Amino acid sequence: MTSSSREDELMTAKSLQVLHYLIKPVQPINLLEKINNVFS
């Protein structure tokens, strides 16, 4: 999760093969859904 939406950070995430990311502010339901996906 990041508080920035800078393009270079998104490119870094892709180069590290990060499949999903959240940008703040995050709605609680979205955060819970992503956490559940990680542990499923």
CA distance 30 to 28: 5
**For position 2, what pLDDT does the model report?**
57
Whether pLDDT at 40 is above 80: yes
Give 11's contacts (C-beta < 8 A, 6+ positions apart): none
Bridge partners for 23 per DSSP: 2
Residue-wise pLDDT tens digits, 13-25? 889 998 877 877 8
Give me the chain's average pLDDT, please. 84
> Which whole number is the average pLDDT over 6-35?
87
Task: Quote the pTM value.
Answer: 0.52
